[in-house]
Structure 1
Amino acid sequence: MIRRQALGLIGAAALAGCGFELRRAPELRFRTLALAGFGPKSPLAEELRTSIDASQTTVVVDSAPKAQVVLEALADAREKSVVASTAFGEVRELQLRSRFHFRLRTPQGRELIPATEILLTRDMSYRESAALAKEQEEAALYRSMQSDIVAQVLRRLASVPAP
C-alpha cells in the first residue's frame, strides 16, 4: 500500500517537473482585430472569430476603423480534382485542396503580414458504390483542413509585434 502511494507521488512529481501544459490559444499583441473580405457566413471566418475570441488578449470587432489590425481575406477557396481513374473513366482517387490567401494590416494601410497563402491538400480514395460515405469523408477532411488553416493563421498573428 505504501509502495503504491510512493510510486504515485513519484509519478506526479515527474509530470509536474516536466513542463507539461495543455495547448491554449496564442497570446496576440493587439487588443482588437477586424475580419474583412470574407464571404457572408464564411465557416472559416466563424472559426477564426471563435479562436481569436478564445484568447485572453484580443477581441474581434465588426468594423475596421475600430480595430488595431485588420485580417483581410484575399481568397478563400476549396478545390477538388481527380488524381486517378480507371481505364473505364471511373474515379478512384481525388485530391482536395483548401486555399486561404490573406494579409494583416493596420486600418491606415500599413502591412504587418504581407499577402500570404496557405495551401493544404488531402488525398482521398473514391468508390462510386460508397458515394454517400465519401461525401461525408470529404466534408470531414475540409473541416480538418479549415482547423489547420486557423491554427496556422493564429500562430502567424502571434508572431506580429504590437502595432
Structure 2
Amino acid sequence: MKDPDSVCNEAVFNQVYNDISQSVWRFAYYKCGDEAQADDLVQDAFIKLWSNCAKVAVAKAKSFLFTVTNNAFLNQIAHKKVVLKHAQLTPSKVDNESPEFVLEEKQYHKKLQDAISNLSEAQRTAFLLNRIDGMKYAEIAEHLNISVKAVEKRMSQALKQLRSEFKNI
C-alpha cells in the first residue's frame, strides 16, 4: 500500500506538479530561452520524479526537480558542443563542381582505365607498380626479376602509348 504522503501517490504527485511546475518551467526558460526546450526539460524532470518517487520525499521534490532540470540543460549544452566540434572537424561534403565537370571527370577516368587496360601485360605491370605503388625502377626490376633496362623500356612504351591516346585532351 502506498504512503498517502509519498510522491508515488498520484494525488500528491499532481499537487507537486500544480505547485512547482510553473517555477521549474520559468527556471528552464530563463536558462535556455526557448519555450519548447523548457517544456521538454520540465516534462523530463517530472518523468524522472515519477520514476524515482520512492526515493524522493515530498519535501525534497522541488529541489530534485530544479536539479534534474539544470543537469538536463547542461547535458544538452555539452551535447551541442560535441556536435559543433565534430561538425568543425568533419570536412564539408558540399561539391562546388558543375554537373558538366563531374561528368567529364568520370568520362576521363573511364578513358584512362581503358587506356591502361589496352597496355600489354608487361607494360601495364611496370606502369602500375611505378605510378600506383610508387616503386622505383630498380625495385620493379627486382620484384619482376628482370633488368632495370627492361623496366625502362616497358615504362617508355607504356607512356608513349598513353600519350598517344590522350594527345587531344
- Give yes or no for TM over 0.5: no
Structure with greater proportional helix content:
2
Structure with greater proportional strand content:
1
Q: Comparing both chains, which one has the higher relative contact order based on Cα–Cα distances under 8 Å and sequence gaps of 6 or more?
A: 1
Q: TM-score range, shorter-chain basis?
A: under 0.3
TM-score w.r.t. the length of structure 1 is 0.26
